[in-house]
Amino acid sequence: MGGTRTYFYNLLDYYDNDQNELVVAVTSSQIDRQFDNRITKRDIAHIIIPERIIFNTKIFAIFPFSVFYDILIVLYLILKSNPDLIVFSVGTPPLFIGALLLPKYILYVLHTYPDVFLRRTGFILKYIIETFLSKTKQVVSVSNGACLNIVKYWQIDRKVNYVNSIHNFVKDDALTGSDEKNCILTLGHIEWYKNPHLWLRVANKVLADNSVGNVEFVWLGMGSLSEEMRRESQTGKNVSFVRSHKDIKEMFSKALIYFQPSLMESHGISVVEAMRYEIPCVVSNVGGLPESVSDFRTGFVMDVHDEEGMAEKLLLLIKNPSVRRKMGNEARLRYEELFTEVKWRQKMDALHKKIGFN
């Protein structure tokens, strides 16, 4: 389960209590078995909202036309349930940013970050945010790095105090040990921004060292580059792109190292999962990854294009069990320090006090 979905369910747990009457609004395409089970078991009210499609075009998914959809849908939700607080869980900015125009308490939780300026329409976005972002309407991001990019590319320096960083978390869980720890593990969508081509080149460099024995590289996930990467990996040994696995914990139990060389990563929830299980991590220096991994303490933070350096650090950890164990222990301590449910709830409580909603 990716970071966006994990954060959404964490929000669901946070607001689903005796003090709140919770209503969830989703499109039909967002409903799957997992979502349906959670909603049904808790008897949570939900509203199906229309997709951003009209006349077979996704015009309402394109800014600034998306603002009209935002306003109409939120007005409909206000009429339907009259919420005191509206929390948006958004994976594609700036969808639903138009809701800021409406007179409600709003938290805009953004799970990624913009990486380009909107050339022709950026001034409209900047105007909306600078005019309507306020004490009662704030943005929540999942890392400090993501916050910096939001402020930079939306050009909202004057509103920086209303852009908050609250890291995602994964619930603590015991891991059954395995005698077959031989895996360099990666989880995530097989897309360009996860850097799968570099990942494969680094894997081949490491495996070319005959002293690594039966170590294997495993990428668990799917995406638009899945088939391409599977074809390319067939020429090497001990490298696999796996569509799915019935037990993610089993994969973590076999992992020596977690490897995440992403080109773009707002936080990296799988890195946090690995740290929870005392697995050292080798990651790129983008987005929120350097906030999760403490360089030379819980793993290594590398330049995103440094293939040789990544291979070198992976080999160092493979060949030095004592270093690997020490970094794994430190990773667990860092997880407990920063990424537990208790820490997350404390920050959420503080945010609600900040906006004046108790």
Could you give the CA distance from residue 211 to residue 86 in angstroms, rounded to a whole number?
56
Is 175 buried (19+), middle (13-18) or exposed (0-12) by CB count in 10 A? middle
Alpha helix (H) ranges present in the chain?
3-15, 33-42, 66-81, 122-132, 144-153, 196-207, 226-233, 248-253, 269-276, 289-292, 307-319, 321-338, 341-355
pLDDT of residue 55: 66
Could you give the CA distance from residue 89 to residue 172 in angstroms, rounded to a whole number?
23
Q: What residue ranges do the domains of the chain occupy?
A: 3-169+341-355, 183-338
Q: Per the structure block, which two tokens stand in for 337?
A: 């320090």
Q: What is the mean pLDDT of each run of 10 residues along the chain (358 residues)?
A: 89 93 92 87 90 80 92 94 96 93 96 88 93 97 96 94 96 71 94 97 95 94 95 87 82 95 95 96 97 97 98 98 97 96 97 94
pLDDT of residue 41: 83
Q: What's the N-to-C CA distance of the chain in angstroms? A: 31
Could you give the CA distance from residue 101 to residue 86 in angstroms, rounded to a whole number?
13
Could you give the CA distance from residue 175 to residue 188 in angstroms, rounded to a whole number?
20
Provide CATH code, domain 3-169+341-355. Answer: 3.40.50
Which residues neighbour 123 within 8 Å (Cβ) at sequence distance 6 or greater? none
| Helix (H/G/I), strand (E/B), else coil: 175 | coil
Is 40 buried (19+), middle (13-18) or exposed (0-12) by CB count in 10 A? exposed
Which residues neighbour 291 within 8 Å (Cβ) at sequence distance 6 or greater? 143, 144, 145, 167, 267
pLDDT of residue 285: 97
Orientation angle between helical segments 196-207 and 307-319, nearest 10 degrees? 50
Per residue in 178-199, pLDDT (tens digit) is: 666 799 999 999 999 999 999 9
Asked whether the domain spanning 183-338 has the same topology as the one spanning 3-169+341-355, the reply is yes
pLDDT of residue 345: 97
pLDDT of residue 246: 67
pLDDT of residue 1: 62
Is 129 buried (19+), middle (13-18) or exposed (0-12) by CB count in 10 A? buried
Q: Per the structure block, which two tokens stand in for 338?
A: 């920063």
Q: Are 263 and 286 in contact (CB under 8 A)?
A: yes
Could you give the CA distance from residue 348 to residue 340 in angstroms, rounded to a whole number?
13
Pairing of strands 239-242, 255-260: unpaired
Could you give the CA distance from residue 69 to residue 61 in angstroms, rounded to a whole number?
8
pLDDT of residue 178: 60
Provide CATH code, domain 183-338. Answer: 3.40.50.2000
**Rg of the Cα atoms in the chain:** 21
291 backbone φψ class: left, alpha, beta (φ>0; ψ -120 to 50): alpha
Q: How many other β-carbons are positioned within 10 Å of the β-carbon of residue 155?
A: 16
| Helix (H/G/I), strand (E/B), else coil: 89 | strand
